[in-house]
Amino acid sequence: MTPAARVAPRRRERLRAATIGEIKQTARRFLVADGPAAVSLRAIARDMGMTAPALYRYFASLDELVTALCADLYDELSRYLEEARDEHPVDDLGARFAAVCRAFRNWSIAHRPEFGLMFGTPLAALDPDATYPVPEPYEAGRRFGAVFEQLFVDLWRAAPFDVPADDQIPPPLRDQLDAYLARLGAPLPAGAAQVFLSGWIRLYGMVALEVFGHLSFAVTDAEPMFEAELANAAVQFGMTPSRATDSGSA
């Protein structure tokens, strides 16, 4: 193969990657400006000066484009959480935990349309025991979840805290928790997974309610309520509230 022949495919690959990136950024801009109903392949093609059939060479359907955009958003959010976490020493798990939780809330509030796209409708169920390659949106979602999961495992290993005994957990729930821990590769008791999920439901639910405007019936400033829930979660995870909250709001 001649040098010119080798350069041509690389150039085409770069141009294709750049076009895909522009398509996703255009879709995100439409989402932020006018909501999910404004995101269509035809509108994106028109905005980019392309024909609709030309755009189909990059994304076969709107669903394919939206899932690709979701993957990018999950990775963007994961990097944001990791940067907040890594501002604190690795042995200060309370500060790292609080930083990640606050960063999740801050990003979500600043990116409400994106949050709605990512978390408003879950991806279709995926066989957890599948041996085939996992689609990128699922992998991106797992990378996001791993930021919280690893922190939880680190907290448990540093100082195991009280959790329900196996015989205190209803068997249908215990079986699912055991399967979750097996996929996670974490040698923890089922009760620890239950406590983690309970804390996640509390914090995620608080953020989702705020993002979607469902707390205005009671509070006009949700941050103090979030901080109270963060302190409660810290206690669940074996920390005193001060260990997780002394650093103040991010």
Q: How far is CA 136 from CA 66, 70, 75, in A?
A: 12, 10, 11
pLDDT given for residue 245 in this prediction: 55
pLDDT given for residue 123 in this prediction: 54
Backbone CA torsion sign across 15, 17, 21, 24: positive
Instruction: Indicate the number of domains in the chain.
Output: 2
Residues 101, 183: one domain? yes
Residues 33, 130: one domain? no
Residues 89, 43: one domain? no
Residues 22, 129: one domain? no
Which residue among 60, 87, 104 closes a domain? 60
CATH of the domain at 82: 1.10.357.10
In a domain, 46, yes or no: yes
The CA distance from 49 to 57, in Å, is 15
- Which position has the token pair 């009760």? 191
Question: Phi/psi of residue 213, each to 5°?
Answer: 75, 25
In a domain, 229, yes or no: yes
Residues 101, 55: one domain? no
Residues 43, 140: one domain? no
Residues 92, 46: one domain? no
Residues 80, 26: one domain? no
Domain that holds residue 144: 74-245
In a domain, 69, yes or no: no
Cα-Cα-Cα-Cα dihedral of 197, 66, 213, 225, to 10°? 30
- pTM value is 0.86
Residue among 131, 135, 111 nearest 123 (CA): 135
- Amino acid sitting at position 170: P
In a domain, 239, yes or no: yes
pLDDT given for residue 132 in this prediction: 37
In a domain, 68, yes or no: no
Residues 150, 197: one domain? yes
Residues 87, 199: one domain? yes
pLDDT given for residue 63 in this prediction: 87
In a domain, 67, yes or no: no
- Which position has the token pair 């909501």? 35
pLDDT given for residue 130 in this prediction: 45
Average pLDDT for residues 211-223, to the nearest whole number? 94
User: 33-50: per-residue pLDDT in tens?
Assistant: 999 889 999 999 999 999
In a domain, 208, yes or no: yes
Residues 39, 83: one domain? no
Residue among 180, 67, 78, 80 nearest 121 (CA): 67
CATH of the domain at 8: 1.10.10
The CA distance from 182 to 7, in Å, is 46
Residues 13, 53: one domain? yes
Q: Among the listed ranges 122-131, 135-144, 238-247, which one has the minimum average pLDDT value? A: 122-131
